[in-house]
Amino acid sequence: MFADSSTTFTLIALTGVFAYSFYAVLVAGQLSLGQAGFASLAAFASTQAVPDEPMFGVVPPLAVGIVVGMVTGAFAAFVLGLPVTRLRGVFLAIATLGFAEMIRIVLINQSWTGGAQGLSVPKLVGPPEAWIAVGVIGFWFLRQGGSKLGRALAAIREDELAAKAMGIDVTRYRLAAFVTAGAVAGLFGVLWVHFSRFADPNEFSFAFAVDGLVTTVVGGSTFFLGPLLGSGFFTAVPELQRAVGIEAGWLRPFIAGVLLLVVVLFLPDGFGGLVSKLGRLRRWGGPVLARGSLVPRSPMPDRTMDGTSPPPALPAPKLPPPGDEVVRMSGVSKDYGGVHAVRDVDLEIRGGEILGLIGPNGAGKTTLVNILTGMTEPSAGEVRVLGVRLGGSVPAHRVALAGVSRTFQHSKLFERLSVLDNVLVGTHRVAPSTLLRRMLFLPSARRTERQVLASALARLERVGLAERATTPAGDLAYGDQRRLEIARALAAQPSLLVLDEPAAGMNHVEAAELSELIRTLADDGITVLLIEHNVRMVLDTCTRVVVLDFGEVIASGEPDVVARDPHVVEAYLGTAAEGEAELAVETSAHEADGSGEQ
Amino acid sequence: MTTDASPALQVDDLVVAYGRVQAVRGVSFTVPSGGLVALVGANGAGKSSILNALAGLVRPRSGSVRFGGRDVTRRPAHELVAAGLVQVPEGREVLATMTVDENLRLGAWHRRSDADERIDEMYGRFPVLAERRALQAGALSGGEQQMLAIARALVAGPSVLLMDEPSMGLAPKIVDEVFAVIAEIQAAGTTVVLVEQNARRALRAATYGYVLESGTVAHEGPADDLLADRRVIQAYLGIE
Amino acid sequence: MQQIVNGVFTGSIYALFAIGFTLVFGILHRLNLAHSAVFAAGAFIGIELAENAGMPIWLAIPSVLVAGGVLGLVIERLAFRPLGGRHDAHFAGLISSIAVGAMFLALLQARYGPDTRRFAPDTFPQHRYDVLGVSVSLLQLTVVAVSLVLMVGLSVLVARSRLGRAMRAVAENPHAARVLGINVDRVTAATFALSSALGAVAGVLFALSVNSAQLSMGFNIELKGLAVIIVGGMGSLKGAMVGGLALGLIEVFAVTQIGSSWRDVIAFGLLIAILLVRPQGLFGSRKVREV
């Protein structure tokens, strides 16, 4: 049907535009099949809007159609996205698929669409239009990648819970990605019908959407050129098969199937993943996996463009004054089925404290931390954190934005992103948005980027990971992963830092360094809640200690007082007498080297 | 299955890695037949990784595991369970939506001929499970779930039992009961490898112990010696 | 009344297709998009056995069941097992199963060509019965009976048998299942085999009922199958059964009430409504998993 090479050339670009509409949501880890529906709606809306003559004598008819189409697609995605973006994985895919099918059936049953016969439309799209469109869209995603939005979407894709802990409003960002997909799909719909000169509701079918998805996945959904690579591949395969004389019929789809299988099994990030690992392309935009950076081509802060001094630091949020209430929990309980993880806990944290929370494994420490950070709703009791009263409707990211940063017991790093990119995501709370300014290459965007980068590098420096900045986070040793999580949490410039077993997996030298680091943070005015298994480290580091056992607070007070408390000794040792003697040894040992308090 | 001459388990230079991160870096140890060996150390020291490698749940990067004189390195878990190397996993991992009885039947997966007898035996040994046999396992208390996890492993008729943090999240009184059961199991002739955060408790129950730090063996020795060793206490056991 | 009979007839095929679809999802949390290709393959293999091999239809149907099982093993081997524990296995499984489905369809095309195929007119006896003023054909009765027997059989197998117990253990906690010494790979393969066996029989029954088979016959039912398993609750066998029958009935009534061109809006409208109001579906009890 499309035999000549200029047609093939146009097809690559148009298929690429469609693939970008899948890329737009895949970068946020969302799987949508509704794009055919958005494209269809936009295409038919544009058939009604495209004028015969240039509007006002200057605006070309196609431009009018594109604007109408993109607005239609974005609007449809917004309306659908409000309810459905909270669905995950295949549920989202099936819901959006259902939507697209409904659109198809509704359009077939309208008279103005020409029903099942379709509509003839003027041919307005050739190679130049198609390639300009795909160029603009590709550029958009290149620049989006390094923006605050791009970082947030990559974070959501890699680990949604950790993204929330960084203050990212997951619902809003997912919706933003979905609306972008709607707009791009709308653009495709308009271009497609004005290229094929025919608009038919049945063309925008399930199979059509699946083709678009497959194109994107094969091309790579984590690198901005991926959709174009996928489109080139799928357009080229039949051409190549024809060229080498493979006859139409069963062999061509069979080979296409085999190739698809091979790519999915052996190239997990598609062709884009392959390309971004090679050569210098990886330094181009986007949340490139592994060795790339989410801040592309930004000068490092020590070699600024015009030789001026490094950029001013990001404005730091105000810290609560020492002694002020930071956290207040009263009567907090949490039950899981028949198991009481936390029972009737009262806990107060005041500004400037280093509060240690200890207790045997399974005592309810992590549950308490999850309640405090808004990730678990308590079964009973009241919680107020930095002025935010937690309850059913307060999402975790609000707690993070109020100034609570945390690490997780089992590291929840964005493992496929670089060390630096992890910390850059951590700046979400304090970094200004750069998306639109980046699109226009405004100098202020670059200035902001330099500030953010400087801030992130400073945190890495502080935990001693600056030299590992480009390593994928998942490749770090345990101890380094723990430190990186702390750097990421610090990048948000928190008022309260919650560390959940930061010394797990560290040897005692590393643990001592960590203890030192925590004390310097407190000197800077950050309030710290330290959950730790290493009791010795807690006694050395903290100003106050709370002991949890079997979901209840069994002791609280200054470290050496708690260490002598018979309840604590019993909880840890089972038998009181023998343990007490050893605790005494322990406490006197650390007093001897001067770090104890008496 | 095992003779007195060859140890129940012989681990040589075991390395376990996740991606590029090494969780266990060259650990060697021996578990004598009928013994109770404790692996202790802080969270993240590599205890559970070792146990999972022994149970065939994680493929070690290098090193070897001999079970009753036979090389079983990288054999899958279902073969090892059938051969008598059975794990009681961390966090108990009972199948919450299935009944107590179904949990035990799954434990008897490889004992098609005498499953009923063995399950009845467990009901005799753990009367609380017999009472709750038709209840969903998720409705049991933490202590009951731990007993179910142990019973479920014993149904398989292990010659070596790997226990991962059996005291986790349990009240002190229940912990006493769990350790009493462990002592019974050993007395009945089953070899036990015990991983515990509660190091004192574990070493008191054990005949021999290994203290792990950052994926390597930092100290080893008869359990009583380790308990008495001031350096071990101060550096690795904290106040526990 | 006649419409109810027709609705149950169509619905039982939907249900049989959907129950296999939902089985894999419920046990393994994977969506197998090659299921529609198995459906088409079942139809073509059935026609092949009845026409070329001269097999009587009562023997051809069990043979298709076995052939479907083999296809399921192939799908598991090619599209799912190589993914192992990859972090994007759910997602990659969708794509790799699409690829394997496309390969199956290409092979069917190689053997049978792109044209519609039919059973010989005398493959199935043309008896009709009048029950309470309703006309029912032997074919309809057979289709409903075979579907019900297979679906009930599957439910009993999952609820009562040793394999079923292992499947439920794998569904709830694959790690615990491995700890207990269950060969999870084998249970996974068995699940795919059962799922595809039912999908293939659904295909041959469908081909019998409309007396035609095309390469593209699976696409439409795949969409409806997705709607059915969501409405019924992903992974719920009962939900797929009830959902499939309900969809058949609703469609028959929709055709008479609002016209055939609007028929398919019902399934998808219902689908979206259910996803928004009750994402776990009508019979799904388990928490919706993030896939």
DSSP state for residue A352 in the 8-state scheme? T
- The verdict on residue A310 lying in a domain is no
Assess if residue B128 is contained within a domain: no
A475 and A555 both lie in a single domain: no
Q: What is the reported pLDDT for A598?
A: 31
User: Are A512 and A489 members of one domain?
Assistant: no
Best of A409, A416, A536, A575 to disrupt the B interface by mutation (most B CBs within 10 Å)? Answer: A536
The neighbours of chain A, by the rule of 3 or more Cβ pairs under 8 Å, are: B, C
At B187, which CATH number? 3.40.50.300
A585 CB neighbours in chain B (<8 A) are 233-234
Helices and strands: H and E segment counts in chain A: 23, 12
Clarify whether residues A64 and A92 are in a common domain.
yes
Chain A residue numbers with beta carbons less than 8 Å from the beta carbon of C289 are: 89
Q: Answer yes or no: is B164 within a domain.
A: yes
Does position A589 have pLDDT exceeding 80, yes or no?
Answer: no
Q: CA nearest A533: which of A570, A508, A567, A564?
A: A508
pLDDT tens-digit map of A135-148: 999 999 998 988 89
pLDDT (mean) for C94-119: 92
CA distance C115 to B238: 77
List domains and CATH numbers for chain C: 2-113+138-277 (1.10.3470)
The chain-wide mean pLDDT, for chain A, equals 84
> Does pLDDT of A173 surpass 60?
yes
pLDDT for A449 beyond 50: yes
Contacts of C283 (CB under 8 A, 6+ apart): C232, C233, C236, C238, C239, C242
Q: Which one of C98, C115, C286 makes the best mutation probe of the A interface by having the most chain A beta carbons within 10 Å?
A: C98
pLDDT attached to residue B197? 77
In this complex, which of A550, A569, A585 lies closest to B171 when CB atoms are compared?
A: A550
Q: For an interface test with B, give the residue of A343, A499, A508, A545 to mutate (most B CBs within 10 A).
A: A508
Angstrom distance (rounded) from CA C237 to CA A402? 46
- Nearest Cα neighbor of A110 from A120, A99, A118, A101 is A118
Q: Do B176 and A574 touch (CB under 8 A)?
A: yes
- Asked whether residue B133 is domain-assigned, the answer is no
Q: Is residue A456 part of a domain?
A: yes
pLDDT at C275: 78
**β-pairing verdict for B21-31 and A544-549:** unpaired
Higher pLDDT, A564 or C80: C80
Residue A512 lies in a domain: yes
**Which residues have C-beta within 8 Å of that of residue C152, sequence separation ≥ 6?**
none
**Other residues' Cβ atoms within 10 Å of the Cβ of residue A4:** 8
Q: How confident is the model at residue A592 (pLDDT cuts 50, 70, 90)?
A: very low
Beta carbons within 10 angstroms of residue B176's beta carbon? 14
Q: What is the pLDDT of residue A71?
A: 97
The rounded radius of gyration (Å) of the Cα atoms in chain C is: 19
Question: In which residue are the tokens 């469109």 written?
Answer: A133
Output B233 or A468, whichever has higher pLDDT.
Answer: A468
Residues in A lying within 8 Å of C, measured between beta carbons: 31, 83-84, 87-91, 93-95, 97-99, 101-102, 105-106, 108-109, 206-207, 210, 213-214, 217, 249-254, 256-258, 260-261, 264-265, 268
Instruction: Please indicate if any CB of chain C lies within 8 Å of the CB of B101.
Output: no
List, in sequence order, every residue forming a beta bridge with A555; answer none if it has no partner.
A547
Q: How far apart, in whole angstroms, are the C-alpha atoms of residue C3 and residue C249?
A: 8
Dist CA C211 CA C205 (whole Å): 9
The confidence band for A113, taking pLDDT boundaries of 50, 70 and 90, is: confident
Residue C116: C-alpha distances to residues A203, A205, C35, C106, C119 (Å): 22, 22, 20, 15, 10
User: Which segment of A425-429, A498-502, B40-44, B100-104 scores lowest on mean pLDDT?
Assistant: B40-44
Asked if residue A399 and residue A425 are part of one domain, the reply reads no
According to DSSP, the β-strands at C128-131 and C134-137 are: antiparallel
Residue A290 has pLDDT above 50, yes or no: no
Alpha-carbon separation of residue B63 from B17, B19, B83 (angstroms) = 12, 17, 20
Between residues 25 and 44 of chain B, which touch chain A (CB distance below 8 Å)?
A: 42-44
Could you tell me what percent of chain A has a pLDDT over 90? Answer: 43
**HSE of C239, CA atoms in CB hemisphere, 13 A:** 25
Output the CA torsion A46→A52→A54→A59 (10° steps): 0
DSSP letter (8 states) at residue A476: S
Residue B74, domain member (yes or no)? yes
Query: C interface mutation test: which of A26, A32, A261 has the most C CBs within 10 A?
Result: A261
pLDDT digits (tens, 9 = 90+) for C250-275: 888 888 887 777 877 877 888 888 87
Does A509 lie in the same domain as A457?
Answer: no
Flag whether A410 is in a domain: no
- The pLDDT, as a whole number, for residue A338 is 65
Indicate which CATH number applies to the domain containing A551.
3.40.50.300
Provide the 3-class DSSP secondary structure of residue A289. Answer: coil
H/E segment holding residue B38 = strand B36-41
Q: Which residue of C has its CA nearest to A251?
A: C106
Top pLDDT among A281 and B180 is at B180
Mean pLDDT of A526-538: 87
Q: Give the whole-angstrom CA distance, residue A322 versus residue A345.
A: 23
Residue A311 confidence (pLDDT): 57
* Domain-located, residue A408: no
Q: Which of A398-402, A534-538, B2-6, C217-221 has the lowest mean pLDDT?
A: B2-6
Asked if C172 and B97 come within 8 Å (Cβ–Cβ), the reply is: yes
For residues A144 and A56, state if they share a domain. Answer: yes
Task: Measure the CA angle with vertex A34, ends A28 and A39; round to 5°.
Answer: 110
Distance CA A273, CA A223 (A): 7
Local structure of residue C213 (DSSP, 8 states): B
Q: How confident is the model at residue A597 (pLDDT cuts 50, 70, 90)?
A: very low
pLDDT of C219 higher than 50: yes
Name which of A361, A415, A478 is nearest B169 (Cβ-Cβ). A361
Residue C258 touches chain A, beta carbons under 8 Å: no
Average pLDDT over residues A152-173: 94
Are residues A433 and A573 both part of a single domain? no
Nearest by CB: B109 against C168, C182, C286: C182
A579 has pLDDT over 70: no
CA distance B152 to B105: 8
Query: Do residue A500 and residue A436 come from a single domain?
Result: no
* Contact (CB<8Å) B109/C172: no
How many CB atoms neighbour CB B161 within 10 A?
23
Domain that holds residue B169: 9-92+139-237
Asked which of A157, A190, A219 is the last residue of a domain, the reply is A219
Note the pTM of the prediction, 2 decimals.
0.87
Q: Give the residue, C121 or C222, on which the prediction is more confident.
A: C222
Higher per-residue pLDDT: C108 or B138: C108
Residue C288 has pLDDT above 70, yes or no: no
Which residues of chain A are within 8 Å of residue C92 when distances are taken between CB atoms?
Answer: 264-265, 268
pLDDT in tens, A475-496: 888 788 989 999 999 999 999 9
> Which is nearest to A501 in space by CA: B42, B24, B22?
B42
Burial A205-218 (b: 16+ CB within 10 A, else e): bbebbbbbbbbbbb
pLDDT, tens digit (0-9, with 9 covering 90-100), for A85-106: 888 888 888 889 989 999 998 9
pLDDT of residue A457 exceeding 60, the answer is yes
Instruction: Based on the fold, state whether residues A47 and A187 are members of the same structural domain.
Output: yes
For residue A214, CA distances in Å to A259, A328, A476, C16 come to 12, 51, 33, 28
User: How distant is the Cα of A305 from the closest Cα of chain C, in angstroms?
Assistant: 40
Q: Do B106 and C182 touch (CB under 8 A)?
A: yes
**Number of structural domains in chain A:** 3
| Chains contacting C (3+ CB pairs below 8 angstroms) | A, B
Nearest CB to B106; choose among C165, C183, C184: C165
Q: Tell me, yes or no, whether A105 lies in a domain.
A: yes
For residue C280, pLDDT beyond 90? no
Decide if A380 is inside a domain.
Answer: yes
Query: pLDDT category, C285, cuts 50, 70, 90?
Result: low
Q: Which helix (H) or strand (E) holds B63?
A: strand B62-67
Provide the percentage of residues in chain B whose pLDDT is more than 90: 68
Highest averaged pLDDT of the listed ranges A389-403, A463-477, B122-136, C226-240? B122-136
Query: Which residue do the tokens 């999580």 mark?
Result: A485
- Check if C31 contacts A (Cβ < 8 Å): yes
Looking at the predicted structure, is the pLDDT value of residue A392 above 80? no
User: Measured between alpha carbons, how far is A234 from A227 in angstroms, rounded to an integer?
Assistant: 11
Task: Write down the pLDDT at residue B236.
Answer: 56
| Structural domain contains residue B126 | no
pLDDT in tens, A312-357: 667 778 888 888 899 999 999 988 766 778 889 999 999 999 999 9
Sequence-distant (6+) residues with CB within 8 A of A550 are A363, A364, A571, B171
A592 touches chain B (CB under 8 A): no
Give the span between the Cα atoms of B170 and A362, in whole angstroms: 7
pLDDT beyond 60 at B31: yes
Instruction: List, for residues A347-386, the tens digit of each pLDDT value.
Output: 999 999 999 998 877 788 889 999 999 998 898 899 999 9
Whether the CB-CB separation of A193 and A62 falls below 8 Å is answered with: no
Cα–Cα distances (Å) from C158 to B51, C74, C146, C165, C168, in that order, read: 32, 22, 18, 6, 7
**Section A429-434 average pLDDT:** 88
Confidence of residue B235 (pLDDT cuts 50, 70, 90): low
A159 and A112 housed in the same domain: yes
CA within 13 Å, CB half, B216: 5
pLDDT the model gives residue B104: 96
pLDDT band at residue A278 under the 50/70/90 scheme: low
Percent of chain C topping pLDDT 70: 97
Same domain membership, residue A456 and residue A520: no
Nearest-Cα residue of chain A relative to residue B228: A582
Mean pLDDT value of segment A548-557? 87
| Mutation for B interface: A537, A572, A580, A585, most B CBs within 10 A | A572
Unique residue bearing structure tokens 């005494």? A584
Q: How far is CA C248 from CA A211, C15, C228, C267, C281, in A?
A: 29, 9, 10, 10, 18
Give residue C4's pLDDT. Answer: 87
Tokens of A201: 């509701």
pLDDT digits (tens, 9 = 90+) for C4-21: 888 999 999 999 999 999
- Strand-pairing partners, residue C131, are C134
Residues C99, A260: C-beta atoms closer than 8 Å: yes
Do B14 and B60 meet the contact criterion of CB atoms below 8 Å apart? yes
Contact C181 B105 (CB under 8 A): no
Query: Sorting pLDDT into bands at 50, 70 and 90, what band is C234?
Result: confident
Number of domains in chain B: 1
Q: Name which residue leads in pLDDT, C284 or C189.
A: C189
Tell me, what DSSP letter sits at residue A203?
A: G
Q: How confident is the model at residue C194 (pLDDT cuts 50, 70, 90)?
A: very high
In three-state secondary structure terms, A290 is coil
Q: Cα separation of B82 and C182, whole Å?
A: 9
Is residue B166 situated within a structural domain? yes
* The last residue of a domain, from among A441, A464, A493: A493
3-class DSSP string for A25-93: HHCCCCCCCCHHHHHHHHHHHHHHHCCCCCECCCECHHHHHHHHHHHHHHHHHHHHHHHHCCCCHHHHH
Show the tokens assigned to B112: 């098609």
Q: Annotate A392-461 with DSSP letters as a single string.
A: TT--HHHHHHHTEEE--SS----TTSBHHHHHHHHGGGTPPP-HHHHHTT-HHHHHHHHHHHHHHHHHHH
Asked if C213 and C43 count as a contact pair (C-beta separation under 8 A), the reply is yes
Please write the tens of the pLDDT for every residue from C21-66: 999 999 998 999 999 999 999 999 999 999 888 889 889 999 999 9
How far apart CA B175 and CA A256 sit, in angstroms, is: 60
Question: A96 with A163, same domain?
Answer: yes
Q: Is A270 helix (H, G, I), strand (E, B) or coil?
A: helix
- Exposure letters A344-380 (e unless 16+ CB within 10 A, then b): ebebbbbbbbbbbbbbbbbbbbbbbbbbbbbbbebee
User: For B36-85, what is each residue's pLDDT tens digit?
Assistant: 999 988 777 889 999 999 999 999 999 999 999 899 999 999 999 999 99
What are chain B's partners, defined as 3 or more CB pairs within 8 angstroms? Answer: A, C
Chain A neighbors of C22, CB-CB under 8 A? none
Domain boundary at A472, A493, A514, which? A493
Domain that holds residue A525: 325-403+494-592
Q: What is the mean pLDDT of chain B?
A: 89
Q: Give B216 to chain A, closest Cα distance, Å.
A: 10
Q: Residues 6 or more apart from A512 whose CB is under 8 A from it? A: A537
